[in-house]
Amino acid sequence: MSIKPAAPIERRTLHDELAERLRDLIIEGHLAPGEKLSEKDLCEQFGVSRTPLREALKVLSTEGLVLLTPHRGAAVSKLTLADLEEAFPIMGALEAVSGELACARITDREVSHLRALHDAMVTRHQNGDLAGYFELNQRIHQGILDAAGNPTLSHMQRALAGRVRRARYMANMTAERWAKAVAEHEDIIRAIEARQAERLGLLLKTHLANKLNTVREALTGEAVGDNSTYVNL
Amino acid sequence: MSIKPAAPIERRTLHDELAERLRDLIIEGHLAPGEKLSEKDLCEQFGVSRTPLREALKVLSTEGLVLLTPHRGAAVSKLTLADLEEAFPIMGALEAVSGELACARITDREVSHLRALHDAMVTRHQNGDLAGYFELNQRIHQGILDAAGNPTLSHMQRALAGRVRRARYMANMTAERWAKAVAEHEDIIRAIEARQAERLGLLLKTHLANKLNTVREALTGEAVGDNSTYVNL
DNA sequence: CATTCGTATTTTGTATTCAAAATTCACTGG
DNA sequence: CCAGTGAATTTTGAATACAAAATACGAATG
């Protein structure tokens, strides 16, 4: 009866679609931190009624991207330096775990796939293609997560990364920092190839800590004179 | 103008209230894993309309307590052994981080408060009061989290703990295991008093790993003959 | 008798409507 | 001219109504 390798028909509901769209808009900074989200406006913009929109907002709220205040509506959650300082140690711990788990389970095939991604990323760096670099960078980290074989971990990591990725757009990489990041990635990929779990965990943690430093410098350098300095994208 | 120390008027919305109630029902096992959640039934039971109920279900879904399938309704998510094996390394990492952060920030006052809770917990153990023991146990772990001063961490930890706490009710503590847990807690509180961050992280991780072992034994001992052995509460 | 097809019923997804709270803004009094 | 009050408007919270999909059920056919 079955003809082809199972066609997973994509059946989506409006609230799912809305949540995804809004999530992207927030993460990519098209909706600024602190911006008030009027239900009426969003409904008109997306051409839907309030019911599915509200369901989507609830979801984004539990993800921490949106702040929901009773009887006062929704707003894009602000991205304060304090938030980032909070998020990074958690991310660090999760990355370390994912590295350790990945080392224990990863196949040779997956390793060489990561190596291929890494080499491609190095090329992007050499060509000064920042967007391409970011994309491959993300795919590598995702690849490590996949290799860890822990969906729950992936889910939490993604939620947190989404919150933090917003900051990346203003981390304005210097040439030095970029080169250093690439070098760190070289160490990371080597640790994976050698299945050095503990070392990999440490490297990932350090890599992340350096990223935080970059962001922190960018923030404190041009900190908004507000009581809570937040990231304007 | 202000008379008294700020009266924090509790203004709750229905969907918030519903989410909380349902969450408790699931965590405490009054709603069995895999049980189908009919919107109609729940609405009648709580005396509300479907709108707020659906919003609550969306929230619980992102928390992982409920499985939402498009056009097919909601069900309490199953608690498979695989789920637990997934959750525990993450919990371990988070606990370790919270321990390290807590050591760096905790005040003497907070330390003695934790010590008081601990001593009270020991008394519960001596009296064989399991429920009381659990409650104090939870308050101690919460206290460590609070001391860490990282709301994001607390939030993630709580979400995960909720998923896992469901398993605790069937971990049927033996006398030996219980005594060992108390001993571990004694080490933990001592590490806090000495501000030994690294040691505390390790102790918390080990404590958790032991808990998993208990649960695992209970599960494999009376594993359901299903393809995916899940926890019947 | 089992299977399959089609219809009826139930259940979910979305839109609309109604109610209550918050915001706006004009007006009054100082 | 400004602060404060109070109605008008807007916006959110919840209920109801409607549409579409899934399930249940039964009849017809082999």
pLDDT for B107-146, tens place per residue? Answer: 999 999 999 999 999 999 999 998 899 899 989 999 999 9
pLDDT tens track for A71-107: 999 999 998 888 888 988 999 999 999 999 999 999 9
Q: What is the pTM of this model?
A: 0.81
pLDDT at residue A224 tops 60: no
Closest by CA to B79, choosing from B20, B27, B137, B39, is: B27
Per-residue pLDDT band at B50 (split at 50, 70, 90): very high
Asked if the Cβ of residue A48 lies within 7 A of any atom of strand C, the reply is yes
Q: Is A20 on the interface with B (CB under 8 A)?
A: no
Tell me, in Å, how far CA of A48 is from C1' of D19? 15
From CA B52, how far away is CA B67, in angstroms rounded? 17
- Between chains, do A94 and B96 touch, taking CB under 8 Å as contact? no
CB contact under 8 A, B89 and A151: no
CA B74, B79, B82, B84 dihedral sign is positive
Q: A16: Cβ under 7 Å from strand D?
A: no
Look at A81 and B17; give whichever has higher pLDDT: B17
CA B174, CA B166: separation in Å to the nearest integer? 18
Token readout for A188 is 């990371």
The sign of the dihedral angle between the CA atoms of B62, B65, B67, B71 is negative
A73 CB inside 7 Å of strand D: yes
CB count within 10 Å of CB A78 equals 18
> By the CB < 8 Å criterion, does A13 face chain B?
yes
Any CB–CB contact under 8 A between A109 and chain B? no
Which domains are assigned to chain A? Answer: 14-76 (1.10.10.10), 81-221 (1.20.120.530)
Per-residue pLDDT tens over the stretch A97-147: 999 999 999 999 999 999 999 999 999 999 999 889 989 998 999 999 999
Which residue reads 């769209």 in tokens? A21
Query: For chain B, what's the residue count?
Result: 233
Find chain A residues with C-beta within 8 A of B93's C-beta: 93-94, 96-97
**DSSP class of residue B69?**
E
What average pLDDT does chain B have? 86
Distance between CA B107 and CA B93 in Å, rounded?
A: 23
In this structure, what DSSP letter does residue A49 have?
Answer: -
Whether residue B150 and residue A86 make contact (CB cut-off 8 A), yes or no, is: yes
Q: Report the sign of the C-alpha dihedral through residues B190, B191, B192, B195, in that order.
A: positive
CB-contacted nucleotides of strand C (7 Å): 11-17, 21-23
Say if residue B221's pLDDT is above 70: no
Q: Does at least one atom of strand C sit less than 7 Å from the CB of B70? A: yes
Q: What is the mean pLDDT of residues B195-204?
A: 92
